[in-house]
Chains A and B, each alone.
Chain A
Amino acid sequence: MSIAEATTAPYSEMSDRELARAELTIARKYIGRFSWFMAVWGLGNLVCWLALWPLTLSGILPLWMAFPIATINVILCYLPSHEAQHTNFSTGGPALRWFNEFIGYVSTIPMVLPFKIARLTHMEHHSHTNDPELDPDYGVKADSWQQALLTAYKRRQPGQPNAYGETLNRLGDGPVVKRAGLEGAVQVLTFWAIISALAWSGHALEAAAIWWLPRYIGTFYISLYLSWAPHFPAPEQGRYRNTRHFTHPLGNILALGMEDHIIHHLHPAIPLDLNAAAYREMKPILDARGCRDERF
Chain B
Amino acid sequence: MIRHILQALGPWGPVLFGFGFLAPLIATLLKDGGITPPLGLTPIQFGLILGPALGLSAKLRGRWI
Partner of B24, one of A157, A189, A204: A204
Q: How many residues of B contact A (CB 8 A)?
A: 22
Do A196 and B21 touch (CB < 8 A)? Answer: yes
Nearest chain B CB to A200's CB is how many angstroms away? 5
Given contacts A205-B28, A205-B32, contact A212 B21 (CB under 8 A): yes
Q: How many residues of A contact B (CB 8 A)?
A: 21
- Taking Cβ atoms with an 8 Å cutoff, the residues of A that contact B are 154, 157-160, 181-182, 185-186, 189, 192, 195-196, 199-200, 202, 204-205, 207-208, 212
Do A157 and B62 touch (CB < 8 A)? Answer: yes
Do A158 and B14 touch (CB < 8 A)? Answer: yes
- Taking Cβ atoms with an 8 Å cutoff, the residues of B that contact A are 2-3, 6, 11, 13-14, 16-17, 20-21, 23-25, 27-29, 32, 58-59, 62-64
Closest to B24 in A: A199
A interface majority secondary structure = helix
Given contacts A182-B2, A185-B6, A192-B17, contact A159 B59 (CB under 8 A): yes
Q: A158-B11, A199-B28, A200-B20 given; name 15 further pairs at CB < 8 Å.
A: A157-B58, A158-B58, A158-B59, A159-B62, A185-B6, A189-B6, A192-B17, A192-B21, A200-B24, A202-B28, A204-B24, A204-B29, A205-B25, A205-B28, A212-B21
Given contacts A182-B2, A185-B6, A205-B32, contact A158 B13 (CB under 8 A): yes
Closest to B25 in A: A204
Nearest chain B CB to A129's CB is how many angstroms away? 29
Q: How far is B64's CA from A157's CA once the two chains are assembled, in angstroms?
A: 7
Do A195 and B58 touch (CB < 8 A)? Answer: no
Task: Give chain A residues whose Cβ lies under 8 Å from the Cβ of B59.
Answer: 158-159
Can you list 21 pairs linking A and B with CB atoms under 8 Å apart? A154-B63, A157-B58, A157-B63, A157-B64, A158-B62, A159-B11, A159-B59, A159-B62, A186-B2, A192-B16, A195-B21, A196-B20, A196-B21, A200-B20, A200-B24, A202-B28, A204-B25, A204-B29, A205-B25, A207-B21, A207-B25
Q: How far is B16's CA from A159's CA once the two chains are assembled, in angstroms?
A: 14
Task: Give chain A residues whose Cβ lies under 8 Å from the Cβ of B20.
Answer: 192, 196, 199-200
